[in-house]
Each structure stands twice: as C-alpha cells, then as structure tokens.
C-alpha cells in the first residue's frame, strides 16, 4: 500500500458521516484541509488571511468560511470557499472524510473536511481574502521543536502554537489556536502515534474531548 492509500485508510476510520446532522439549527462553517504528497511526504496547504479582513486578519488558517444557503452540505461549503479563496477547482479535490465539528470563537459550528489535491496545484489567492498560500509537512505538527502551549485556566484544554519558517520564501509564520489544534489532530490521525508533547485530548479516543466540548457548548445555548 502506498503512502497516500495508507493516509486515506487511517483518516477514513474517523469520518463522522452524518453523525451531527441534528445540529442543523446552528450557524455553520466549513474548512478544507488540503493534503498532497511531495517526495513521498504528506503536506498540508495553509493560507494567510488578508490584513483587511474584519475577523482574525493576518492569521494562518485553512481555506473555508460560512455556509451559504445554496450549499448542499458541509463538503460543498468547503469546496466552494476553496475555489473562491485560492482558485482550487472542486474537480481537482479528492474528499477523504469529515472530522468532528467544533465551535469557533465566533460561535460558528465548523466542520473540517479533509481532502487530497494534486501536488502540481498552483494557488491563485483572492487578495480580498488571502494574502499568502504556503505548505507544511504534516509531520511538523508531531514535533516539540518550534511548538509551545499553555493550559487554559480551569480547563483541560491547551492552546497550541507553532512557529514555521517557509524554506521557499524564508517567511516566518505563527500557526496557533483552532488551526493548530486541527493540525495536531490531523497529524495524530494520519500517523496513528503520539506527538512529542501533550495534546490535551485522549489519543485512544481522539474525538472524546471534542465531543465533550461540543456538548458543553450546546448546554449553554
């Protein structure tokens, strides 16, 4: 079995399917987590939000955004947003799975959609939304080097942060918060092993904490 097939097999074990369809009354968003192979190594494509945006300007994130009334489902939202933001054509995307949704700071229920894209894809960022596109080896998010974290008061949740220097441009990026947490989860699910640091969730049942946090948030609504 090749690297791509192994990764797909590992990730599909955690596909949520329609498990959270009962949450349709909440405002939704989706992000696309685009993976590709480069010299046999799994990479993930990331974007830098435009500094002109109202929310989280200049931060590293995944392509994605709010659901549109015309979107068929969470995957449709992720693909539409990726097309709008970085000109990624939907027919060049091989969707692998949907991961457990979670609430962001703005109260949107965000569903991560994991997919493979071609390593030859050349992003054309929409300058109104994206200032830069770059990629990182997924293995990077398993290592203690360039990683830091702090525990949120009165919780068992960590806020993670990584500092990544792009070898192509030399630019330094901080990857933190929700994006960093999703990348750690992605790495754990991809490689099926423990990172070099504490993650703040049960590695044997990685979605248990996410589901618990989701239910905790729902109980307050």
Q: Give the pLDDT score at 220.
A: 64
* pLDDT for the residue numbered 188: 94
Q: Would you state the pLDDT for residue 53?
A: 87
pLDDT confidence of residue 66:
93
- At residue 217, the pLDDT reads 65
DSSP string, 147-198: EEEEEPTTSS-EEEEEEEE-TTT--EEEEEHHHHHHHHHHHHHHHTS--SS-
Q: Given pLDDT bands bounded at 50, 70 and 90, which one contains residue 138?
A: very high
Kindly report the average pLDDT of the chain as a whole number. Answer: 90
Q: How far is CA 153 from CA 156, 157, 158, 159, 208, in A?
A: 8, 9, 9, 11, 20
The Cα–Cα gap between 90 and 87 comes to 9
- The mean per-residue pLDDT over the stretch 195-206 comes to 83
- Main-chain dihedrals φ then ψ at residue 145, nearest 5 degrees: -55, 130
- Least-confidence region, from 101-115, 137-151, 200-214: 200-214
The helix/strand/coil state of 39 is coil
Tell which residue, 169, 189, 175, has the closest CA to residue 15. 189
| Rounded average pLDDT over 29-52 | 96
Q: What is residue 10's predicted lDDT score, i.e. its pLDDT?
A: 95
Q: How many residues does the chain have?
A: 221
Is the pLDDT confidence value at 221 over 70?
A: no
pLDDT score recorded for residue 156: 67
- pLDDT tier at 176 (50, 70, 90 boundaries)? very high
User: Whole-angstrom Cα distance, residue 57 to residue 46?
Assistant: 15
pLDDT at 139 over 90: yes
pLDDT at 202: 76
Query: Does position 76 have pLDDT exceeding 90, yes or no?
Result: yes
Mean pLDDT of 73-96: 97
With a CB cutoff of 8 Å and minimum separation 6, the contacts of 26 are 109, 221
State the angle between helix axes of 177-191 and 3-12 in degrees (0 to 180), rounded to the nearest 10.
110
């Amino acid at each position: 079995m090749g690297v791509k097939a192994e990764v797909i097999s590992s990730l599909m074990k955690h596909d949520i399917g329609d498990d959270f369809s009962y949450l349709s009354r909440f405002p939704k968003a989706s992000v696309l987590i685009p993976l590709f192979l480069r010299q046999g190594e799994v990479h993930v494509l990331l974007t830098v939000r435009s500094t002109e945006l109202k929310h989280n300007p200049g931060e590293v994130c995944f392509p994605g955004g709010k659901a549109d009334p015309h979107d068929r489902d969470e995957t449709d939202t992720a693909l539409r947003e990726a097309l709008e933001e970085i000109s990624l054509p939907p027919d060049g995307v091989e969707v692998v799975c949907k991961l457990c949704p979670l609430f962001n700071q703005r109260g949107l229920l965000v569903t991560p959609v994991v997919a493979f894209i071609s390593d030859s894809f050349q992003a054309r960022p929409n300058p109104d939304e994206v200032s830069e596109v770059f990629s990182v080896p997924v293995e990077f998010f398993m290592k203690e080097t360039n990683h830091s974290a702090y525990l949120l008061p009165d919780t068992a949740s960590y806020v993670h942060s990584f500092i990544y220097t792009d070898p192509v441009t030399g630019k330094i990026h901080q990857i933190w918060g929700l994006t960093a947490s999703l990348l750690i989860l992605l790495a754990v699910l991809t490689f099926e092993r423990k990172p070099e640091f504490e993650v703040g969730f049960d590695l044997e049942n990685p979605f248990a904490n996410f589901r618990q946090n989701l239910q905790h948030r729902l109980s307050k609504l």
